[in-house]
Amino acid sequence: MSNIRKVILIILSVLSLMVIGAYAFLQVQLGRINRVTAGETEFTTEDFDEDTDAPDSISDSSLDWGEANHIEPQEGVINVLLVGQDTRQEGERARSDTMIILSIDSENSRLSMVSLMRDLYVEIPGYSNNKLNSAYRFGGFELLDATIAQNFGIQIDYNVEVDFDGFREVIDAVGGIDVTLTEDEVAYMSGESTYGRRHNNTPQSGLVVGENHLDGEAALVYARIRYVSTASGAHDDYGRTERQRIVIQQVFQQLKDQPWTDLLGIYDSVAGALTTDMTNDEILSIALTAYNLGVDSIEEYRVPEDGSYSGESIRGMSVLVPNDWDVLRANLQEFIYGA
């Protein structure tokens, strides 16, 4: 009996050391992600993204912002804001090109994502009313989260930011993605169309109408297309947000059935391209929760919806103004929370 106890103690000791070692390894690996510490954000002066010569069609005094109904955070739902930006100068924040709320609902085994249109005209706490994507430039995660809370009544729990270089690395790390291209999209990405030559600095070769396997560079060109309609007819920034959701869906399809060992290898190649306000333990917890949901796809939504807004001009900016802020908030909250 004494020998049996010794064997059991040795086995338990070895297992404990293995668990401790694995945890320490993960902590070191997760420590490679760039971190933003809460309360240490540097706020900038405001400016306006002047993109039109049209006279003002609205004034701030004429806008109705509604009742700003805020929904309380719900048990089992975690909202992670994915931010994509084109950092043109080292160390400086640009306006956020992409803002997607990824919601993980462990109570209902559900993953969902909401694209927030960057030209939506919103109230920015401490600043003048402006385009939604200006909030990230002025005050990073902190101000963007506060802006989303004030305008949409949604609490953002965590944030993850990736720049264009990081986007390429993520796509390449998962082995590329399969995307169906229209004739216009092929012409744009190949640099054969007028818009393609004007806006696409890296023409892609070998593309065909129909299904294509895109590497990181090609996927980035695809995700940034604004001036060519999608197969569904979405144009301009509406088409771009649709393509971004397609890319995320395809990346998800590549990852959802991968074993943890392969996921760690993929993470190893992209860690340095990510920035977050999450701790290592929070990352592990959220990743494990999402991995264990066992869902086959991510539900999609866009704010604002078609037919729920008008295009306006103010301060030299082309902006989107919701027809009814209360309806917009209620629909968004219903999609995320079922509230």
Average pLDDT of the segment spanning 256-274: 75
Whole-Å CA distances, 22 to 135, 150, 260: 39, 41, 13
State the pLDDT confidence band at 323, using cuts at 50, 70 and 90. very high
Give the torsion through C-alpha atoms of 320, 326, 328, 330, to 10 deg: 170
Q: What confidence score (pLDDT) does residue 20 get?
A: 53
* β-strand pairing of 317-322 with 130-131: unpaired
Encode pLDDT of 73-121 as tens digits: 778 899 999 998 765 555 678 888 889 999 999 999 999 999 999 999 9
Average pLDDT of the segment spanning 9-20: 60
Q: What confidence score (pLDDT) does residue 60 get?
A: 93
Q: What confidence score (pLDDT) does residue 263 get?
A: 72
Encode pLDDT of 19-70 as tens digits: 554 444 455 455 567 778 777 788 899 999 888 999 999 999 999 999 877 7
CA distance 239 to 319: 16
Q: What confidence score (pLDDT) does residue 280 get?
A: 81
pTM of the predicted model as reported, rounded to 2 decimal places: 0.85
The DSSP line for 41-96 is PPP----------SPPS--GGG---TT---PPP-TTEEEEEEEEE---STT-PPPE
**Would the pLDDT of 291 be above 60?**
yes
The DSSP line for 267-316 is HHHHGGGEEES--HHHHHHHHHHHHHH--SS-EEEEESPTTSEEEEEETT
CA distance 161 to 100: 11
Instruction: Indicate if the alpha-carbon torsion angle 86, 140, 244, 255 is positive or negative.
Output: positive
Q: What confidence score (pLDDT) does residue 22 get?
A: 47
Average pLDDT of the segment spanning 162-179: 86
CA distance 273 to 34: 8
CA distance 284 to 292: 12
Q: How many other CB atoms are found less than 10 A from the CB of residue 51?
A: 13
Residue bearing tokens 């070895």: 14
Q: Which of 334, 330, 273 is nearest to 299 (CA)?
A: 334
Q: Which of 271, 333, 272 is nearest to 303 (CA)?
A: 333
The most confident of the ranges 61-70, 289-298, 327-336 is 327-336
Please state, for a pLDDT cut of 70, what percent of the chain lies above it.
Answer: 86
What is the H or E stretch that residue 122 is in? Answer: strand 121-122
Residue 46 phi, psi dihedral angles, 5° rounding: -85, 155
The DSSP line for 310-327 is EEEEETTEEEEEES-HHH
Q: Which residues are bridge partners to 122 per DSSP?
A: 130
* 262 close to 175: Cβ distance less than 8 angstroms: no
CA distance 161 to 59: 33
Instruction: Calculate the average pLDDT of the chain.
Output: 84
Average pLDDT of the segment spanning 213-236: 86
Which residues fall within 8 angstroms of residue 186, CB to CB, at 6 or more apart?
192, 207, 208, 209
**Would the pLDDT of 71 be above 70?**
yes
* Token digits of residue 158: 């965590």
Please report, as a single letter, which amino acid is at residue 86: D
Which residues fall within 8 angstroms of residue 309, CB to CB, at 6 or more apart?
120, 320, 321, 322, 323
Please state, for a pLDDT cut of 90, what percent of the chain lies above it.
Answer: 45
